Amino acid sequence: MQKHQLKQVIEALLFVAEQPLTESQLAEQVESQQITKKQIRDVLDELQRDYQERGVQLRKVASGYRFQTRAELGDIISNLWQEKPTKYSQALLETLALIAYRQPITRGDIEEIRGVSVSSQIMKTLQERGWIKVVGQREVPGRPQLYATTPEFLDYFSLQDLAELPDIPEPPSQVKDAGQSTQITAATATETE
Amino acid sequence: MQKHQLKQVIEALLFVAEQPLTESQLAEQVESQQITKKQIRDVLDELQRDYQERGVQLRKVASGYRFQTRAELGDIISNLWQEKPTKYSQALLETLALIAYRQPITRGDIEEIRGVSVSSQIMKTLQERGWIKVVGQREVPGRPQLYATTPEFLDYFSLQDLAELPDIPEPPSQVKDAGQSTQITAATATETE
Amino acid sequence: MSVASSEPLQQSLPLGFVRGEPVIDKPEDLYIPPDALELILESFSGPMDLLLYLIRRQKLDIVDLPILPITKQYMTYVDMMKELKLELAADYLVMAAMLAEIKSRMLLPRPAAIEDEELDPRAELVRRLQEYEAIRQGAQHLDALPQIGRDEFVAHAHTDAQEHVQTVLPEVALAELALAFAQALAHAELQHHHQVHREKLSTRARMSRILDLLQSKQRLAFHELFETAEGRQGVVVSFLAILELVKEALIDVVQIDAYSAIHIAVANRTTGAYAEAST
């Protein structure tokens, strides 16, 4: 396959796939053509440059590459739909922020910091959206479930990994949790303690 | 709105709309910006040229404009939806084997040997695959159809004729007839247990 | 999204802004309709939110939290909520109790020797406030990030590629077929009835072919069933196949007169006397 055609194929695949595609997935799609990952990466770089100034851009998010519209066009484009996009409540955003920044975390931890009981509706919504999931249990009495964010959470916010989240102050540790790590990296998502 | 931005907006709208968009629909989306239809048409022309050689192209169809993949990429792109090959059920394989080894044979014969009824779906699948066909009817009440294998069946298994089918390990009770097995050279490794 | 409807909206609805700070105090000299006040009080996402708001509004230092005035103000708000018969979450009262406890411990004289930061009765509350403040900031960051479906949209193109998807038919190996046959026989425990031999298979294949030929022609001349090219062995196989077909009453062999050509035809059903027991 010539490079010109490879580029067309990758471009077309990215525009029709339901989900973002990784380099490996793209390589797999054209595997019969003996294409190296390096060639795929070069094409992706080139496509990213090609679309730099266009209405849609090639973005890398947690679960792969996808074409998406420029952020600044959001207002005009959202007119296409009758419904207004969902506005998330402060309570939901705080809960999500706690899970994103302090994962893995139990519901009890969330309640302690927010000072209110966590509504089951919020946890259900976050799980239904595929943004959070149970990654284990803390080995204390009651074995509470530990929650972490998912790649879909990152995709939704067009992030590649948790390190891209804007910084917030690290948790104060003078009273307890002195040993708790404050480094937020994508790896924490799979930690089960 | 500057022309540069108008182009980005129209491009983005066409990429996110579920349906093709007409010039009027596009004009409506950007109506607050006092854009003439002429301007929209110019932008569409320009986009059509921009995407001429790309993996997706801007095409005008009956209900408006839409981006779609190049026709000649259909084959490669279809890999995205290509299902993994499945396996035939044991019931189907046994049915096929009985037809191959015991032809011509009726469904009733197969059922008698297998001790279970043969689903119509299995017979249909084998016929659609072109491996078996009806070669006659047995002249008994109900005139059941007699099935046999086809040349396509032989072709698929790279056999010249049915005599090349592997010999089946003989049951222990059977006294082997040396004279009948002299011609057998093919591996008879299959075992019944 | 159901959250928006099932969760009270938490955005503050201040009465106004003074130097950028929302004013939601109930000024002494201004009547506020109870409805408006209710909205304001409901807008806090919890006791920590309220507490943090009170601290920030007065530009107080969290670390050196003046517990007495804060407790007093907090209680004023809680009383207002009670007065308006808002469904006051128990969490607000838990916080009130905590504040009262810290206050009383602060009032107790402490031996100078053990006075260190760790034992400051406010320490735990301060830690929670700091962490809550950080998380509030995190929530704001999340809200400000571009979101798919709100600010950014996934781009898709139409494709007719699905039409090119080919049905992949399952593969079968010859050995599998033989195995399946053996298994079918084993299951039926009919092995002794189904002796399979190479010779026999050729015969059965020829039987199928003859029946197949009879599908298109009603009658076949006997000699049409033999091909000299096949040699003697082919003739034997054909002959055995005809005999077997006759035996299974699948064909009739017809000779009108003595010495006339022999024909075979599909068995007439009236003469069919196929015995199932033959297997």
pTM of the model as a whole: 0.68
Identify whether the C-beta of residue C37 lies closer than 8 Å to the C-beta of residue C85: no
User: Using 50, 70 and 90 to split pLDDT, how confident is the model at C25?
Assistant: low
Nearest CB neighbour to B139, from listed C183, C198, C268: C268
Nearest CB neighbour to C212, from listed B71, B135, B161: B135
pLDDT at A133: 95
The ranges assigned to domains in chain C are 31-107+121-135, 203-266
Same domain? B96 vs B58: no
Range with lowest mean pLDDT among B168-177, C58-67, C79-88, C131-140? B168-177
pLDDT at C206: 84
* Chain B residue with the nearest C-alpha to that of A13: B77
Least Cα distance to B137 among C265, C194, C204 occurs for C265
Same domain? A64 vs A94: no
Strands (E), C4-50: 16-18, 21-23
Between these two residues, C4 and C258, which has the higher pLDDT value?
A: C258
Sign, CA dihedral C7-C11-C12-C16, equals negative
* Chain C residue with the nearest C-alpha to that of B57: C157
Q: Which residues of B touch C264 (CB under 8 A)?
A: none
User: Using 50, 70 and 90 to split pLDDT, how confident is the model at B97?
Assistant: very high
Phi and psi at A149, nearest 5°, equal -85, 165
pLDDT tens figures, B6-26: 999 999 999 999 899 999 899
Q: Say yes or no for a CB contact (<8 Å) between A15 and C155.
A: yes
Q: Which of A21, A76, A79, A83 to mutate to test the interface with B (most CBs of B within 10 A)?
A: A76
Distance (Å, whole) CA A42 – CA A51: 14
Q: Which residues of A touch B82 (CB under 8 A)?
A: none
pLDDT tens figures, C189-227: 644 454 444 456 678 888 888 888 888 887 888 777 777
The DSSP H or E segment spanning A40 is helix A37-50
How many C-beta atoms surround the C-beta of residue C140 within 10 A? 16
pLDDT at C27: 47
Q: Which residues of B touch A12 (CB under 8 A)?
A: 55-56, 69-70, 73, 77
Q: What percent of chain B has pLDDT over 70?
A: 85
Across B91-114, average pLDDT: 92
Considering the domain boundaries, does residue A104 fall inside one?
Answer: yes
Least Cα distance to A30 among A50, A51, A44 occurs for A44
- Burial class of residue A168, CB neighbours in 10 A (0-12, 13-18, 19+): buried
Chains touching B (at least 3 CB pairs under 8 A) are: A, C
pLDDT at C33: 62
Chains touching C (at least 3 CB pairs under 8 A) are: A, B
User: Using 50, 70 and 90 to split pLDDT, how confident is the model at C109?
Assistant: confident
User: Using 50, 70 and 90 to split pLDDT, how confident is the model at B167?
Assistant: confident
pLDDT(A12) > 60: yes
pLDDT(B84) > 90: no
Least Cα distance to C213 among C223, C198, C225, C202 occurs for C225
Q: Say yes or no for a CB contact (<8 Å) between C164 and B12.
A: no
pLDDT at C269: 54
Q: Indicate which CATH number applies to the domain containing A9.
A: 1.10.10.10
User: Using 50, 70 and 90 to split pLDDT, how confident is the model at B121?
Assistant: very high
Identify whether the C-beta of residue A18 lies closer than 8 Å to the C-beta of residue B64: no
pLDDT(C44) > 90: no
Q: Which of A76, A123, A175, A184 to mutate to test the interface with C (most CBs of C within 10 A)?
A: A175
Identify whether the C-beta of residue B135 lies closer than 8 Å to the C-beta of residue C216: no
Phi and psi at C278, nearest 5°, equal -65, -20
Across C240-253, average pLDDT: 84
Q: Say yes or no for a CB contact (<8 Å) between B17 and A55.
A: no
Q: Say yes or no for a CB contact (<8 Å) between C165 and B78.
A: yes
Q: Which fold has domain C203-266?
A: Arc Repressor Mutant, subunit A (1.10.10)
Q: What percent of chain C has pLDDT over 70?
A: 71
Q: Say yes or no for a CB contact (<8 Å) between B12 and A80.
A: no
Instruction: Write out the two tokens for C152.
Output: 């950014």
Q: Which of A19, A21, A31, A56 to mutate to test the interface with B (most CBs of B within 10 A)?
A: A56
Considering the domain boundaries, does residue B172 fall inside one?
Answer: no
Q: Which residues of B touch C166 (CB under 8 A)?
A: 78, 82
Distance (Å, whole) CA C159 – CA A127: 32
Considering the domain boundaries, does residue B138 fall inside one?
Answer: yes
Same domain? A95 vs A62: no
Across B34-43, average pLDDT: 88
Between these two residues, B92 and C13, which has the higher pLDDT value?
A: B92
Number of domains into which chain B is organized:
2
What are A's interface residues with B at a Cβ cutoff of 8 A?
7-13, 15-17, 29-30, 53-56, 67, 69-70, 73, 76-77, 79-80
User: Using 50, 70 and 90 to split pLDDT, how confident is the model at C23?
Assistant: low
Could you write out the three-class secondary structure of chain B?
A: CCHHHHHHHHHHHHHHCCCCECHHHHHHHCHHHCCCHHHHHHHHHHHHHHCCCCCEEEEEECCEEEEEECHHHHHHHHHHHCCCCCCCCHHHHHHHHHHHHHCCEEHHHHHHHHCCCCCHHHHHHHHHCCCEEEEEECCCCCCCEEEEECHHHHHHCCCCCHHHCCCCCCCCCCCCCHHHCCCCCCCCCCCCC
pLDDT(A176) > 60: no
Any bridge partners for residue A136, and if so which? A146
pLDDT(B191) > 60: no
Between these two residues, C81 and A113, which has the higher pLDDT value?
A: A113
pLDDT tens figures, C170-191: 888 888 888 888 888 876 664 4
ipTM score above 0.95: no
Amino acid at B77: I
Across A30-42, average pLDDT: 83
Instruction: Write out the two tokens for A170.
Output: 């690290």
Judged by DSSP in three states, C10 sits in coil
Q: Which residues of C touch A100 (CB under 8 A)?
A: 138, 142
Q: Which of B47, B168, B170, B184 to mutate to test the interface with C (most CBs of C within 10 A)?
A: B168
Between these two residues, C134 and C222, which has the higher pLDDT value?
A: C134
pLDDT(C279) > 50: no
pLDDT at C32: 56
Least Cα distance to C69 among C52, C53, C50, C55 occurs for C55
Instruction: Write out the two tokens for A70.
Output: 């420029």
Shortest alpha-carbon distance between residue B37 and chain C (Å): 24
What is the maximum alpha-carbon separation in chain B? 96
How many C-beta atoms surround the C-beta of residue A4 within 10 A? 9
pLDDT tens figures, A54-98: 999 999 999 999 999 998 998 888 888 877 888 899 999 999 999
Q: Say yes or no for a CB contact (<8 Å) between C3 and A174.
A: no
Same domain? B14 vs B64: yes
pLDDT tens figures, C156-172: 999 888 888 877 788 88
Residues 7-36 of A with CB under 8 A from C: 12, 15-16
pLDDT tens figures, B132-161: 999 988 888 888 999 999 999 999 999 998
Instruction: Output DSSP code: residue A176.
Output: S
Amino acid at B129: R
Across B30-40, average pLDDT: 80
Q: Which residues of B touch A79 (CB under 8 A)?
A: 29
Could you write out the three-class secondary structure of A53-112?
A: CCCEEEEEECCEEEEEECHHHHHHHHCCCCCCCCCCCHHHHHHHHHHHHHCCEEHHHHHH
Identify whether the C-beta of residue A178 lies closer than 8 Å to the C-beta of residue C169: no
Q: Which of B16, B22, B40, B51 to mutate to test the interface with A (most CBs of A within 10 A)?
A: B16
* Pairs of residues, one from chain B and one from chain C, whose beta carbons lie less than 8 Å apart: 221
Identify whether the C-beta of residue B60 lies closer than 8 Å to the C-beta of residue B41: no
Least Cα distance to A110 among A94, A125, A124 occurs for A94
Considering the domain boundaries, does residue A51 fall inside one?
Answer: yes
* Chain B residue with the nearest C-alpha to that of A77: B13
pLDDT, averaged across chain A: 87
Domain membership of residue A141 as a residue range: 90-164
Same domain? B107 vs B143: yes
Considering the domain boundaries, does residue A110 fall inside one?
Answer: yes
User: Using 50, 70 and 90 to split pLDDT, how confident is the model at A33?
Assistant: low
Same domain? A97 vs A154: yes
* Pairs of residues, one from chain A and one from chain C, whose beta carbons lie less than 8 Å apart: 178
Phi and psi at B83, nearest 5°, equal -80, 155
Peptide bond into B141 cis (omega under 30): no
Q: Say yes or no for a CB contact (<8 Å) between C132 and A78.
A: no
